[in-house]
Chain A
Amino acid sequence: DAGITQSPRYKITETGRQVTLMCHQTWSHSYMFWYRQDLGHGLRLIYYSAAADITDKGEVPDGYVVSRSKTENFPLTLESATRSQTSVYFCASSLDRQGYNEQFFGPGTRLTVL
């Protein structure tokens, strides 16, 4: 199906384990983004990417690693998960950086770190 998808939708892991959250979009959008949303709060930007092989840090990048070898995929890796990384993670994409292009969000991945 066309659109932006995230996998897994739910994940439970343990402190210290490596976890990779996947994001895939079918629109060939240039920009992709990762946000986290903690209970009762707004979204905070973790990393973003302007194109394949171009990534940059957002507001809260510590503890996360991203890569973008293909335009359509933007995986987010927690190299050594901590309890403070328990959150809902949203991936988004947009066609261009211009102010009039909206971001399209995926359904989110709910991650619990025990």
Chain B
Amino acid sequence: DAKTTQPNSMESNEEEPVHLPCNHSTISGTDYIHWYRQLPSQGPEYVIHGLTSNVNNRMASLAIAEDRKSSTLILHRATLRDAAVYYCIPYIYNQGGKLIFGQGTELSVKP
């Protein structure tokens, strides 16, 4: 199975950009990279996903390295509501839709 490595925690100031890194050096060529986040006392929520090229949506941007061994989730302007645990998850196509969560990165946002 593909393994991921994320920092345990990161800090950011409100209204500043945040770059959350993830290493997934064993990912295969057909595996998507998903990002989820979990706000305190809530279930996880989808943030973004990608395969090879950079992706943008209303919540964040995802920058994927050319060799696909790492990716970075970018929050363009952090808000207090963005304080959460962020999970980087390789989506293994032949594993029946399962997501295997790691420990994630706990992001704290200071006013």
Question: Which A residues are closer than 8 A to B by beta carbons?
Answer: 31, 33, 35, 41-45, 48, 50, 56, 58-59, 90, 92, 94, 96-108
Question: Which B residues are closer than 8 A to A by beta carbons?
Answer: 30-32, 34, 36, 42-46, 49, 51, 85, 87, 91, 93, 96-104
Known contacts A50-B97, A90-B44; is-contact A99 B104 (Cβ 8 Å): no
Cβ 8 A contact of A43, one of B30, B97, B101: B101
**Residue among A56, A104, A105, A107 having the largest count of chain B Cβ atoms under 10 Å:** A105
**Nearest CB in chain B to that of A59: its residue:** B100
Instruction: Give, as a whole number of angstroms, the nearest-CB distance from B15 to chain A.
Output: 27
Known contacts A42-B87, A105-B45, A107-B43; is-contact A58 B98 (Cβ 8 Å): yes
Cβ 8 A contact of B96, one of A35, A42, A92, A97: A97
